[in-house]
Chains A and B, each alone.
Chain A
């Protein structure tokens, strides 16, 4: 009952000996994720917390531990290199948490990704979690409960807000995917919506978007034609002034494009239930369920 990550996920952590890498590797371990190895160039041969072997390269980690997913905490200046290293080593799922990667670097990463079978989530994202099975990322595990509601979002804390509302109302989650707030990134709203639509164990899902770009509109158009599951949505940034980057590099209204209004209209047109405020995301999903 999940997409992309479950009990069979074998996780590698790139940047495991750094501050946040170490903290969140431990967080994932505590949650029950099967963390099998770490990579930090120059630290090969060390053992993290007396149990996780550290390698110099992803290829070595892959050969030795058969990891099929990676979580990247490498600092922004070196993160694109690490993503490409994971892609070249054939890691199936690459989750890049790092915030602040230059856009030009991501442009090159995407050019490389186009010629591979790897799936990239992020960067600048909270990660992905299938409650009760596998957590890859920085989200607080305890707010989640296993269940059949999917969540897709560009923002971290706003995702926690939605998950918490669902959990409080007694609705557990199948898989929650944080796709990230950068203008050029891996998995899109549309990709995630397709996965959740096809997942037999996801009954309904919430799509959380924000101003900037046109991914929400693309997902809405697809959902309108192809998805029979109940969908609820919220778009952040109705009150954001044009031309200003609202924290996320991707959250910017420019040239009259990417406004909250245009996105809300597209979602409504697709028969999606809109939450009027961020405190009603859970309620909107319950309403959509009927």
Chain B
């Protein structure tokens, strides 16, 4: 039997792709945090001065997402088919809301990702604020972000999507460790709480940007 048709093989594939996507989330947050230091325009320019790196990352991400989404949907359909008749009464003692809604938070993240790319990468949704040039002739990423998040609807959509991301990795991180076989009775509680902590920190890190902009703590000068 092939790795990809095995229930454990596919689970490992979900774990590896999920872990790599999580790594991207961490790097992306690190990049975003340059906004607090005023380096975001320089960071954007530096990043885009290396097209091979950017394109390699993009292609890698597309492959990771395709695999993660394809098997995520396939496994969920199989799991739903494994219990054709639902219980009249079913109590979950241990399973979390985050764990049971992985497919829905996953699909929400995928839908949000399309909007996110149209918004900040392709700059198609708000062209009027997305093509400014700063004093040094660079693309004004700072202005684009601040003016975008001053719009309460855009900020709201981002924070809602971040809740989905947070929930997804709330279950995902400990799940990765268990799937690659690194858990024992002793490590499980620690792995679970560390995973949940990381999910919360990532959520706070990402959500802080629209929040400080809405509350006027980070403003566009000029």
Do A and B associate with each other? no
Listed in ascending order, the chain B residues whose CB lies under 8 Å from chain A are none
